[in-house]
Chains A and B, each alone.
Chain A
Amino acid sequence: MEVLSVKSLGKRYGNTEAVRDVSFEVGAREIVGLLGPNGAGKTTTINMILGVLEPTSGSIRIEGVDLRAKRAQALERTNFAAVYAPLPGNLTVYHNLRVFGLIYGVRDLRGRIEELLAHFDLEKFRGTKCGVLSSGEQTRVALAKAMLNKPRLLLLDEPTASLDPAMAGDIRKHIRAFADGGTGGVLWTSHNMYEVEEVCDRVLFLSHGRILLQGDPKLLPRRHGRKSLEELFIAVARDAHAQGGA
């Protein structure tokens, strides 16, 4: 059974259609990359799945639970990390994890926090305020928070942006391990095509709020006459730009 099912999703702001007729699924143990140029509708789509933006049309089901009808039950099964939503910098790592653990109703919260502090190598920062951590450390805290409730659907919006290659590689390993080791699925946005190719099982190309292409990131470029995913991305982005400017 898929952990996320999006059907005919649309979002309109006045006369502007930010997202139109988008449908896709994310299966258990699957990492799906949501790609596209800036303004393509990726973050709008993710915000609708997170319940912080109401769709104009369509439906979102998380493990079969309708987000619109049963918001709390649907969101209990998700979690997220985004580069633009850092955890409050004025609380310590431990305090942030405790507050969000309570909100997500995590059982044996103390034990779960200890497990995650060890897993993400954050033990020495437990009493440190998040605001003074480096970008890489803050990303690890955000991921620890995102995995507190062992989500069935993990949403990651550019989780490795602003990280050095070594740190980004570690983060990718953590996320791959999450998908391989459990029953959860991941929806991931990134502008780094090399990491998408390395991590994602499937990608969706969004442009002007619509899904243009989808498939295996290793096979998709050749199928469209391109050498690499990056080349394909650039072609899609230029095409989108030309259409937008026309």
Chain B
Amino acid sequence: MSFDRTFAIVLRQYYLMRGSFSRFLPLFLWVAIDMVLWGFLSEYLNTVSVPGMDFVPKLLGAVLLWDFLTRVMQGVTIAFLEDVWSRNFLNFFATPLSVSEYVGGLVVTSILTSSVGLAVMLALATAVFGLSFLSFGLLAVPFIAILFVTGISLGVLGIAMVLRLGPASEWFIWPIPIMISPFAGVFYPVSILPAWMRAVSYALPPSYVFEGMRASLASGTVSAGSLAVGGALSAAYLGLAFQVFRSTYRHAIRTGLIARYSAESVA
């Protein structure tokens, strides 16, 4: 793997963002609006529920973590879509650039862009609504790590889908987090779900994070075993996602999809 080639992919995204207000603003604008909306909703619920019930960490904390996962996923997919929109595949893949270097560049880009979003969310939630993320202590590390790895996996699976089905299929990517959220128990315990949804939920790494978050708020303890399962699942999905992208790329090279990618639909 060449550091320079991976750096080139990140640098291209940096140049794009530096020169474009409309690319830079969405890094934090939508998540900031989410913090304000859910922050006030949490405060309102505190006033109409039983005394002592605090919705700020339960709801606002959950939204913050879910938005983080979404931003990580979009960090990968939007960086990839920039190459789709500018018809840049032939230029990139007719060079010594390898698939690992290219995807590595997208992942590094996502780390940087999602960090901006996370920092803004934390600042707003803490300063305006008094959410103390530090109260999770060291648990915040596995929570963030599992969601980050899952976001990367979803992003890589999404771009594999677009590579396989063509540019028009980008619209399949955007609803992925919304489709997963009912199963992941972002706002409610997984135990209230029907059996079949619960079964799906157990296969999703974020479920273990949100269950852990609620357990930590309720009792101050989290099952280490449960978090380990979430971590192992997220690592397995990451490996699977890279494998899917690699095999999609090989298919694209075999069939000529990369060379013909400027066509609207290649399916």
Interface residues of A (CB under 8 A from B): 13, 43-44, 47, 50-54, 71-73, 75-76, 78, 80, 82, 84-92, 95, 98-100, 102-105
Contacts and interface: CB of A to CB of B under 8 A. Distances in A.
A104 B95 contact: yes
Interface of B: 2, 4-5, 7-8, 11-12, 15-16, 19-20, 82-83, 86-88, 90-98, 253-256, 258-259, 262
A76 B4 CA distance: 13
A99 to B, nearest CB: 5
A88 B255 CA distance: 24
Given A90-B19, A91-B16, 4 more contacts: A50-B90, A51-B253, A90-B16, A103-B5
A54 B94 contact: no
Given A54-B253, A76-B96, A88 B91 contact: yes
A102 B256 contact: no
A78 B262 CA distance: 22
A105 B96 contact: yes
A53 B5 contact: no
Contacts of A54: 253-254
A86 B90 CA distance: 9
B4 A72 contact: no
A91 B15 contact: yes
B86 A105 contact: no
Contact of A104 (B7, B20, B82, B96): B96
Contacts, number: 89
Q: Closest 3 A-B residue pairs measured CB to CB?
A: A102-B8, A50-B94, A88-B86
Contacts of A85: 87, 90-91, 94
A132 B2 CA distance: 32
B98 A72 contact: yes
B3 to A, nearest CB: 10
A87 B94 CA distance: 13
**Which interface residue of A51, A98, A102, A104 has the most chain B CB atoms within 10 A?**
A102
20 contacts: A51-B253, A52-B90, A53-B259, A54-B254, A73-B96, A75-B95, A78-B94, A80-B94, A85-B87, A86-B87, A87-B91, A88-B12, A90-B82, A90-B86, A95-B15, A99-B15, A100-B95, A102-B4, A102-B5, A103-B97
Contacts of B258: 52-53
Given A53-B258, A54-B254, A88 B88 contact: yes
A95 B86 CA distance: 15
A213 B98 CA distance: 36
A3 B145 CA distance: 48
B11 A102 contact: yes
A89 B15 CA distance: 12
Nearest to A82: B90
A85 B86 CA distance: 10
Contacts of A98: 11
**Which interface residue of B2, B97, B254 has the most chain A CB atoms within 10 A?**
B97
Contact of B12 (A53, A76, A99, A105): A99
A53 B258 CA distance: 8
Contacts of B88: 87-88
Contact of B93 (A52, A89, A100): A52
Nearest to A75: B96
Contact of B96 (A43, A84, A91, A103): A103
Contacts of B98: 71-72
A75 B11 contact: no
Contact of A75 (B82, B83, B94): B94
Contacts of A76: 96
Contacts of A43: 259
A44 B185 CA distance: 50
Contacts of B87: 85-86
